[in-house]
Structures are given as C-alpha cells and as structure tokens.
Structure 1
Amino acid sequence: MATASDDSTPARRRILVAARTLFTTTGYASTTIKAIAVEAGVAVQTVYFVFGNKRSILSALLDVSIAGDDDPVPTLERQWVADAIAAPEPLEQLRIHVHASRQVLDRVGPVLLAVRAAAGADAEVAQLWAATCAHHETVLRHLMAALAAKVDALDVERCVDIGLVLLGPESHDLLLHERGWAAEDYERWVVEALAVAAGVPG
C-alpha cells in the first residue's frame, strides 16, 4: 500500500480539520469524501491517497484529537500520566489526571459524540467506538490502580466506573457547553467526586 510522502503532511492536516468540522456538525454518516475534499481545499483523490477511506480519517482524527499531536506515543506513556503517578499526594495525582483529561476532552469530546451517534448504524464505527471506550477504561484503571497504592482500601473498579461517567464526553459537553461551567469548576467537581469515591482524605 502506498504511503504518503512528507509533502502530503499539510494536506493531511487540512483533511483532518475539514473532517472534524463536518463530522461534528453534519454528522459522520452524512459526510462524504467529496465534501471533506471540498472543505479541505484538496482533490478527492488526495483524500483517498492520504487516508484510503472515511473510516480511516475518523480513526486518525480520534488519535490526533486524543493525543493533541501526531507523535506516536501511547497515552500511558505520555508525560502527564507519569507526572500523575509520580505525585506523592493522592489529591495531587487526581488534579493532574483530571486536568489532562479535561484538556483531552476539549479536543476529542465533539468527535467522540459524533462517533457514538454514528455507531448504531455503522458496524465499523461501532467497533471504533468500542475500542475508544476500552482505551479510556484502560487508562482510568491504570491511574486508579496507582492511586490505590496511596489510599488504603480504595475500590479500583468503583472508581473506574465513576471516572467513566465524570470524564465521559457526555458529562463534559453537558456541563461545559450546555450549562456553561468554567473548565476550572468542572475539574474541581470531578476531583472532589473522585476523591470522595476513592476515600482520599480532604
């Protein structure tokens, strides 16, 4: 399979920006490759050359939105994860974790909602949604297990369940975008709720 050259990098970025705009406004199912090409200002064949198909565009958009860059560094190897785990105090770990997660949700939240909306009618998108949810759960469990080493009798699975709700795209969208919460208020609420669930001393 052909791979994109360095010259295709600007086109790749334009395509991802265009896809994000269209997926999160008109919806994944209603967005065509042609529409993405027009929005990006590139030829249709360029879109096919760089990505191959629409599902690959969506997958790449999720990856870049979650990471915030194109570096091939897994989430669990990101600096913020290391900083959270290295924090000596449980509350500091939660603050680092929640702050980074909120920043991720700022980038990827609208895309995740578009993926969820399309998953019911597209088996491939459903698989992508399931894989993304599983990834989020894995990251949460890793961090809650690290927190359990600092807090006696912490119920890791219960904290994971609560974290999936508090740090899900639905809660983030509802509170920050629909209800107008400030990012700092959202982060404080999530930290406090997780601290209570984990039994972290105040």
Structure 2
Amino acid sequence: MAKAVNTPRRTRREQAAATRERMIRAAIEVFSEAGYVGARMSDIATSAGVAVQTVYFTFHTKAELLQACFDHAVLGPDRLLPMEQPFLTDLATAESGRSAVTAFVRGNTAILTRVAAIKEVAESAPHEPDAAAVVERTEGLRREGLGQIVELIAERWGLRSGLDAAEATDLLMMLSSSGPYLTLRRYGWSEEKYAAWLTETLARELLA
C-alpha cells in the first residue's frame, strides 16, 4: 500500500491571495471580451469560481477591480514594485545611453505584453468616470516613473540637442505606450521586431 504523502496546507492568507489572483485573472479575461461597460461582476465571479459577494467584498467596485488588474499587470508574476524591476537595475548601471535605452525597452515590452489589453479596455470607456479615473491615475504614475528615467539619461549621457526633459518625457510616454505596441503587433510584428524598432527610435529621438 502506497504511503500517503502529506502536503502542507496553505494558510488562510495564502488561500485569500490565491483567490484574489484568480479573480483578477478572470476579470482581465472578462474585461477583454466584454469591455469595461459590458463586463459584469457576476460574470467575473462565475469565471473565477467564487460567489459574486466575494468579488465585491474584495474589490468593492468594478473600478477598483479594473485598477487591481492594472497593478497586477504592471507588477508582473513576481509582484515586484516598479523600482524593484530588474530592468531598472540594468538601466541604472548601463555604461552607455544606448545600453540604457535597450534595458528600458526590454522591461517596457515585458510590461506591455501584460498591460496593453487591459489598458485598451479602460481607454475604450472614456465616458465612464470611474474607468477614466483609473487611466488618469495609471498614466500619472507612468509619467512620474518615465520622467525619472529621462532625468537619469540626461544627467549621465545627455539628451538630443534642443530637447528638454519635459519634451523627452512626452516622447517616451508616447512611443513606449500600448498604442504603438498593439498596432504593430496587429500588423504582424513580433515582439522582437517591435523591441528593435522602439530601441532605434528612442535612441534617435532622445540621446545626444
């Protein structure tokens, strides 16, 4: 008779975290299929295999759940805070502006693969104040982070002649956003081809 193997039971906190993760993944799927307006909390609950009360107890509103989806996508599977992301360490220790841009593009592309779809969902509901607020908050945090990257590049390697930090941040915001990424992917570009294009474009537009 085979000996029973004792598997460690998850703690209540671990179970709650796993349930929360399952609800977020279900929400991303439902949001992507139905859009922000069309997505129902009951559908998300069904997809996640939980009671709808559990979804409301955890996230309270659909807008809070949308924000959780954004945060989950940005932080990635390891739940690393923005300044803990490995590519930022590579960027900070780069020996040239080109190497810094390459490190940024690598990390930014990885984030876009996770966040682009849910960002498109939020931006497709501009007349929904809650969804618009999520986009505004997320873009504000993104501008703050990219502004710090521009400051680092300007201090260590210099910006292109005639380009100030504010304009450089604008360019970085636009070129590295989900819009160009999704458009080029729909045109059949691979992630590698997109990353190569973005690296060349940013090096040309930003670096001295």
Give the TM-score normalised by structure 1.
0.89
1:15 aligns to 2:23 (yes or no):
yes
The counterpart of 1:162, out of the listed 167, 171, 187, is: 171
1:143 aligns to 2:149 (yes or no):
yes
In 2, Cα distance between equivalents of 1:168 and 1:30: 25
1:171 aligns to 2:164 (yes or no):
no
CA deviation vs aligned residue, 1:120-159 (integer Å, no higher than 9, x gap): 2221221110111111111211111111123235432222
- Identity rate, percent: 25
Kindly indicate whether the alpha-carbon contact (under 8 Å) linking 1:90 and 1:147 is maintained by their aligned counterparts in 2: yes
Q: Which residue of 2 aligns with 1:128?
A: 134
1:182 aligns to 2:203 (yes or no):
no
CA deviation vs aligned residue, 1:5-27 (integer Å, no higher than 9, x gap): 43222221221111001111110
Measured after TM superposition, the shift of residue 50 of structure 1 is 2.1
The counterpart of 1:53, out of the listed 48, 56, 61, is: 61
Measured after TM superposition, the shift of residue 170 of structure 1 is 0.9
Q: Which residue of 1 aligns with 2:5?
A: none
Give the TM-score normalised by structure 2.
0.86
Equivalent pairs counted in the alignment come to 194
Q: Which residue of 2 aligns with 1:69?
A: 77
The one-letter code sitting in structure 2 at the alignment partner of 1:51 is F
Q: Which residue of 2 aligns with 1:36?
A: 44
Kindly indicate whether the alpha-carbon contact (under 8 Å) linking 1:115 and 1:125 is maintained by their aligned counterparts in 2: yes
Measured after TM superposition, the shift of residue 82 of structure 1 is 2.3
Mark the runs of 5 or more structure 1 residues left unpaired by the alignment. Answer: none
Kindly indicate whether the alpha-carbon contact (under 8 Å) linking 2:91 and 2:101 is maintained by their aligned counterparts in 1: yes
In 2, Cα distance between equivalents of 1:62 and 1:199: 30
CA deviation vs aligned residue, 1:7-56 (integer Å, no higher than 9, x gap): 22222122111100111111011111111111111111121222222112
In 1, Cα distance between equivalents of 2:153 and 2:203: 10
Q: Which residue of 2 aligns with 1:24?
A: 32
Kindly indicate whether the alpha-carbon contact (under 8 Å) linking 1:151 and 1:199 is maintained by their aligned counterparts in 2: yes
Structure 1 runs of 4+ with >4 Å offset: none
Kindly indicate whether the alpha-carbon contact (under 8 Å) linking 1:159 and 1:194 is maintained by their aligned counterparts in 2: no
Kindly indicate whether the alpha-carbon contact (under 8 Å) linking 2:87 and 2:106 is maintained by their aligned counterparts in 1: no
In 2, Cα distance between equivalents of 1:88 and 1:106: 27
